């Protein structure tokens, strides 16, 4: 019976080592994804779509700039 106990003890030690390796891998993945500016996705997380495109924002900005220029010109 002592042989079985040794095998079980050895397997538990291997499992602990594997868990430590998984933790190290998770930390490495987290560090690398943070360098990219990408947060690690969590379970059930949904990425939202941007409301305006860059071109749309540029058009809005240009229109607002024209409105303010018109108001400033009317004050003179």
User: What is the mean pLDDT of each successive set of 10 residues along the chain, which is 76 residues long?
Assistant: 87 93 89 71 69 92 96 89
pTM value? 0.42
What was the pLDDT predicted at 42? Answer: 61
Enumerate the domain spans of the chain: 2-41+51-75
Rounded-to-integer distance, Cα 60 and Cα 36, Å: 30
Phi/psi region, residue 37 (left: phi>0; alpha: psi -120 to 50; beta: rest), is left
What was the pLDDT predicted at 33? Answer: 80
Place of tokens 């019976």: 1
Q: Which two tokens stand for residue 10?
A: 């050895």
What was the pLDDT predicted at 37? Answer: 67
For residue 15, what are the CA distances in angstroms to 5, 19, 59, 67, 69?
Answer: 15, 6, 59, 68, 70
What was the pLDDT predicted at 1? Answer: 59
For residue 72, what are the CA distances in angstroms to 58, 60, 63, 68, 69?
Answer: 21, 18, 14, 6, 5
């Amino acid at each position: 019976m002592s042989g079985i106990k040794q095998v079980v003890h050895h397997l538990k030690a291997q499992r602990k080592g594997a868990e430590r390796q998984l933790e190290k891998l998770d930390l490495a993945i987290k560090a690398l994804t943070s360098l990219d500016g990408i947060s690690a996705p969590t379970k059930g997380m949904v990425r939202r779509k941007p409301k305006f495109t860059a071109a749309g924002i540029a058009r809005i900005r240009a229109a607002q700039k024209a409105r303010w220029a018109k108001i400033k010109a009317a004050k003179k």
